[in-house]
Amino acid sequence: MSMSSVQWLNLNRVKLHEIPEEIGKLVKLEHLSIAHNNIERLYGELTELCSLRSLIARHNCIKSSGIPQELFCNNQTTTELTTLDLSHNRLTRIPDGLESSSSLLVLNLSHNRISSIPNQLFVHLTDLLSLDLSNNELQTLPPQMRRLTNLQTLMLNHNPLDHFQLRQLPSMKNLTTLHMRNTHRNLTNMPPSLETLTSLTDLDLSCNQLPKVPDALYTLTNLKRLNLSSNVIIELSLALEVWQELEVLQLSDNELTSLPASLCKLSSLKRLYVNYNKLDFDGIPSGIGKLSAMEVFSACGNLLEMIPEGLCRCGSLKKLLLGSNKLITLPDTIHLLKDIEVLDLSNNPNLIMPPKPTCTATDGLQFYNIDFSLQNQLRLAGAVVPNSIQPSQASSRDPIARKLRLRRSKRDHEEEKQAKILKGMQDIANDKNNETFDDCIKAESLKPKRWDEGLEKPAVDYGELFEEGTGRLPGLSVWEIENFLPNLVDE
């Protein structure tokens, strides 16, 4: 087989310092990968590859001056290059002639030292599907980016884009992934609305300076992954319930003290990360058990002394991460999590795990006797209850004890309500039974009777047929009834 027929060539990690001369003879070469080498220049042989479609040259030492303009435009004819990866090199500016490569679909210039983008770069690159400019020194982007109407993936992470107002974004209607991690985002350089980005499913705004969730995000109704970690967000709006397609929500390393109840309406949510905030027991909504699809709940580094019982009723939960909190105990229903794979309770020195609940079977049903009081949990665990938390001597000012009492009173109130509802149902059932019995009686009375059931026995009184002295004389008298009349029988 002749080497001139080679179409794919991989020269990754072979310690190249320059492009081999032999490559220039591979006239049918379409895909070339020379990643992870020590190449500084792309001059020479590559400009002769007229069939080249894909060039992967990441992780080298290539400088801007080492890229020939002929690589993108040869003899006034644009090349057919569709994929260009020059990431992790030493570029300080956009290579000359790149704006002529109108066939480009994928362009990766990340992890360089590029400080500006020329206005003409995106005039002809309108077919771009993926653009990665992450980890450079960009302060703004040209307005011509609005011409990238076919763009699906835009990566701008780790650039000081203070002056970039995102005005070009609404024009990118096919955008599905937008990552702007550590780009100096705040409420002043965010657009008021992004409702035209109906295809956007993945948004990363982590490591910025956002004090709250920008209003524009509530117009993105098709989001599936949202990362707002490492900001200064204090609270969440009830409007987040519009994210009905959301599967992953990352809110770690913020200033949250509570999560809104509307969070429980995100029926598609699978992973929730709220690590290193200021959440306590009251900050977790009691209805969190409604998140039936949730597989991961991570709340390490908070102020949790207990978790809501509802959290243990998330049937799909596989990872429960509660390390570095102030946990005292857990609900007995923690033992109902049969599919749990990872349970992290590390660095909770005062935690006493509850024993498995006792259960009694009645007609095939099981009822768990759950007492969430700290005294009962310590007692069940076999520990001595300190005097400081004995029921008769517990301080009313103890915030943890107060929360436990409030929880018990709330549970008792719920049980009382349930008992009233059950009694009402029983009364209705009894009333229906009584009505049924009365109907049966009425039905019996309407049945036809036999001819002899209606006859009544005549009242027979023989007192008028006997003389006044009869029965008063001593001795025995025998009488017989003949034709319904009494006759004295002689001895």
Instruction: Read off the CATH number of the domain in which 96 is found.
Output: 3.80.10.10
Query: In the chain, pLDDT over 70 holds for what percent of residues?
Result: 76
Instruction: Tell me whether residue 233 is in a domain.
Output: no
Instruction: Tell me whether residue 394 is in a domain.
Output: no
170: pLDDT strictly greater than 60: yes
Q: What does the longest C-alpha to C-alpha distance in the chain come to?
A: 162
Residue 8: both structure tokens together: 């794919």
Instruction: Tell me whether residue 80 is in a domain.
Output: yes
The CA distances from residue 405 to 379, 410, 448, in Å, are 17, 8, 67
| Span 159-176, average pLDDT | 90
| Span 258-283, average pLDDT | 96
Q: List phi, psi (to 5°) of 357.
A: -65, 145
Return the bridge partners of 33, or none: 10, 56
Residue 175: both structure tokens together: 């955008």
pLDDT-derived band at 455, boundaries 50, 70, 90: low
Q: 131-140, 219-228, 255-264, 331-340: which has the minimum mean pLDDT?
A: 331-340
pLDDT-derived band at 395, boundaries 50, 70, 90: very low
| Span 301-319, average pLDDT | 93
Name residues whose C-beta falls within 8 Å of residue 317's C-beta, 6 or more positions apart in sequence.
294, 295, 296, 297, 311, 337, 339, 340
Kind and range of the H or E element at 405?
A: helix 399-445
Indicate the residue among 74, 91, 114 that finishes a domain: 114
Instruction: Tell me whether residue 146 is in a domain.
Output: no
Indicate the residue among 114, 147, 170 that finishes a domain: 114
Question: pTM for the complete prediction?
Answer: 0.72
Q: What angle is formed at CA 324 by the lines to CA 300 and CA 236, rounded to 5 degrees?
A: 35
The CA distances from residue 321 to 193, 340, 450, in Å, are 35, 11, 81
Top-confidence residue, 226 or 76: 226
Indicate the residue among 340, 356, 372 that finishes a domain: 356
Range of the domain at 282: 256-356
Top-confidence residue, 347 or 485: 347
Instruction: Tell me whether residue 326 is in a domain.
Output: yes
Q: Are 188 and 211 in contact (CB under 8 A)?
A: no
Q: Which long-range contacts (CB under 8 A, 24 or more apart) does 34-39 make?
A: 34/60, 35/59, 35/60, 35/85, 36/12, 36/60, 37/11, 37/12, 37/13
353: pLDDT strictly greater than 50: yes
Per the structure, how many domains does the chain have? 2
Instruction: Tell me whether residue 64 is in a domain.
Output: yes
Q: 160-169, 258-267, 288-297, 376-385: which has the minimum mean pLDDT?
A: 376-385
Q: What angle is formed at CA 353 by the lines to CA 328 and CA 309, rounded to 5 degrees?
A: 75
Q: What angle is formed at CA 385 by the lines to CA 379 and CA 387, rounded to 5 degrees?
A: 155
Instruction: Tell me whether residue 471 is in a domain.
Output: no
Instruction: Tell me whether residue 265 is in a domain.
Output: yes
